């Protein structure tokens, strides 16, 4: 079941201190060459792994896709329906940094077929924006939303972060209040994770990074759950909230453990039971395409046991949880047969609940999700 496509644009006009995605400072990069290579990879991928179903979700991520010029971005977007067959109702998302796109760029994006935007707000506190090295002002979030709506794109999501260096509960409450007041349909809100090869990782090792206590971070999460529920945002995944059932269908592809195409430097894909990762460095990625190869750095066949493990720890991220019937249909055995005793033990600890149809995290389990997920990897 492969109905989704991810395309990676690895260029940024400024590098955030927390970001560990494959990205490069835009200036002096071979952007035109990269766009052509990504288009060529689409052609090669579509030929090597023919579609059996319509593409129902597309996500253009980064990096900052809107750091491309309108001409470059248009070429990349138009190549997608030229190489893949889309459904009439395809959800097509582009990541946007506030202030990174003008009226003309949004109109071009809309005309190309994009119908959803994910806007990287992160916080509405100007001091925190500076600490994490974001290059936009809080007011530019609302301006970006207005420009998008004027262009006819009204399925809008914003990204938020909590647990930021020096962040207080009052700052977090203010950010949530400002976010909920916007005409948006979706919020993704993630706690800060310090990843290797980031500026924050270096600062942490030097002892110069002051992070909130874990207890405060947990309080921020619990407050967010209650506040967003009151504001009409339903939690459908640990870190994702939607008004009026406007969930991110693309993200659900991952949490439902479905296969997907991945295009671009450093992109991941899951096709025909094999997880693949593309070369990340631009020279290696471009060289592979120039040599008429698919740009895979590694290919890892997923065993049946690994598929079942992934079904559980990704599916349990969803508030609905893991479907017992879907699991049994996919793997010809029940969850209890695949993981004997684990569900019972986690229920006794108050971390899981079970109905006739689903197994899902309790409110306590939400806070201890990683501990729950580890139970399905122990064997």
Cβ-Cβ contacts under 8 Å for 247 (sequence gap 6 or more): 186, 236, 240
Average confidence (pLDDT) over 15-24: 89
Q: What is the pTM of this model?
A: 0.95
Whether a cis peptide bond, with omega within 30° of 0, leads into 95 is no
* Number of Cβ within a 10 Å radius of residue 27: 8
Instruction: Give the domain 2-254 fold.
Output: pyruvate-formate lyase- activating enzyme (3.80.30)
**Two tokens, residue 40:** 């060529």
Mean pLDDT of the chain: 96
From the list 180, 130, 112, 165, the residue with the least C-alpha distance to 16 is 130
pLDDT tens, residue by residue, 120-131: 999 999 999 999
Which segments within 211-295 are labelled E, that is strand? 234-237, 240-242, 259-263, 268-271, 274-278
Average confidence (pLDDT) over 291-320: 97
Question: CATH 1.10.10 in the chain, residues?
Answer: 321-375
Cβ(29)–Cβ(72) below 8 Å: no
| Predicted pLDDT of residue 128 | 96
Which range, of 11-20, 177-186, 322-331, averages the lowest pLDDT?
A: 11-20
**Two tokens, residue 145:** 């939303």
| Predicted pLDDT of residue 176 | 98
Instruction: Give the domain 321-375 fold.
Output: Arc Repressor Mutant, subunit A (1.10.10)
- What region does 89 belong to: left with phi over 0, alpha with psi -120 to 50, or beta? alpha
Cβ(370)–Cβ(378) below 8 Å: no
| Predicted pLDDT of residue 224 | 97
Cβ(120)–Cβ(95) below 8 Å: yes
From the list 56, 58, 72, the residue with the least C-alpha distance to 11 is 72
| Predicted pLDDT of residue 177 | 98
pLDDT above 60 (res 17): yes
pLDDT above 60 (res 153): yes
Average confidence (pLDDT) over 152-171: 97
Confidence of residue 378 (pLDDT cuts 50, 70, 90): low
pLDDT tens, residue by residue, 250-275: 999 999 999 999 999 999 999 999 99
Average confidence (pLDDT) over 63-87: 97
From the list 232, 97, 77, the residue with the least C-alpha distance to 159 is 97
CA atoms of 337 and 128, how far apart (whole Å)? 48
| Predicted pLDDT of residue 1 | 65
Cβ(311)–Cβ(1) below 8 Å: no
pLDDT tens, residue by residue, 204-245: 999 999 999 999 999 999 999 999 999 999 999 999 999 999
| Predicted pLDDT of residue 48 | 97
Cβ-Cβ contacts under 8 Å for 51 (sequence gap 6 or more): 2, 84, 85
Question: CATH 3.80.30.20 in the chain, residues?
Answer: 2-254
pLDDT above 70 (res 95): yes
Average confidence (pLDDT) over 56-63: 97
Task: List C-alpha distances in Å: 355 to 135, 294, 312, 374.
Answer: 47, 44, 16, 22
Confidence of residue 21 (pLDDT cuts 50, 70, 90): confident
User: C-alpha angle with apex 188: 171 to 124, nearest 5 degrees?
Assistant: 30
DSSP secondary structure, 132-199, as one string: TT----THHHHHHHHHHHHTT--EEEEEEEES-TT--HHHHHHHHHHHHTSS-SEEEEEE----TTSH
pLDDT above 90 (res 64): yes
Which residues pair with residue 141 across a beta bridge? none
Cβ-Cβ contacts under 8 Å for 207 (sequence gap 6 or more): none
Which range, of 148-152, 312-316, 352-356, 375-379, averages the lowest pLDDT?
A: 375-379
């Amino acid at each position: 079941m492969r109905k989704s496509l991810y395309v990676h644009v690895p260029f940024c006009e400024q590098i955030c201190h927390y970001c560990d995605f494959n990205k490069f400072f835009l200036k002096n990069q071979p952007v035109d060459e990269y766009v052509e290579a990504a288009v060529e990879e689409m052609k090669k991928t579509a030929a090597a792994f023919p579609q059996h179903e319509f593409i129902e979700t597309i996500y253009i991520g980064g990096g900052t896709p809107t750091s491309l010029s309108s001409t470059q971005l248009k070429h990349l977007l138009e190549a997608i329906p030229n190489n893949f067959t889309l459904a009439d109702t395809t959800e097509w998302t582009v990541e946007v940094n506030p202030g990174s796109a003008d009226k003309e760029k949004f109109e071009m994006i809309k005309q190309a077929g994009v119908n959803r935007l994910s806007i990287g707000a992160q916080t509405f506190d100007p001091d925190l924006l500076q600490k994490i090295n974001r290059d936009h002002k809080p007011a530019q979030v609302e301006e970006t939303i207005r420009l998008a709506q004027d262009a006819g794109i009204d399925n809008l999501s914003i990204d938020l972060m909590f647990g930021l260096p020096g962040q207080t509960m009052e700052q977090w409450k203010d950010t949530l209040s400002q976010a909920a007041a916007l005409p948006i349909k979706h919020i993704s809100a993630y706690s800060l994770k310090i990843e290797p090869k980031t500026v924050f990782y270096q600062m942490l090792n030097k002892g110069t990074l002051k992070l909130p206590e874990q207890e405060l971070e947990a309080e921020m999460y619990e407050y967010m759950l209650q506040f967003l529920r009151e504001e009409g945002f339903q939690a459908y995944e640990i870190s994702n909230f939607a008004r009026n059932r406007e969930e991110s269908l693309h993200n659900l592809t991952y949490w439902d453990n479905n296969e997907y195409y991945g295009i671009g430097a450093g992109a991941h894909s899951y096709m025909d039971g094999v997880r693949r990762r593309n070369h990340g460095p631009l020279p290696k990625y471009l060289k592979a395409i120039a040599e008429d190869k698919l740009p895979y750095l590694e290919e890892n066949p997923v065993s049946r046991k690994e598929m079942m493990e992934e079904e559980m720890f990704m599916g349990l991220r969803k508030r609905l949880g893991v479907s017992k019937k879907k699991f049994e249909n996919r793997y010809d055995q029940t969850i209890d047969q695949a993981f004997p005793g684990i569900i019972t033990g986690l229920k006794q600890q108050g971390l899981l609940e079970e109905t006739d149809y689903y197994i899902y995290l309790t409110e306590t389990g939400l806070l201890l999700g990683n501990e729950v997920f580890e139970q399905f990897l122990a064997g």
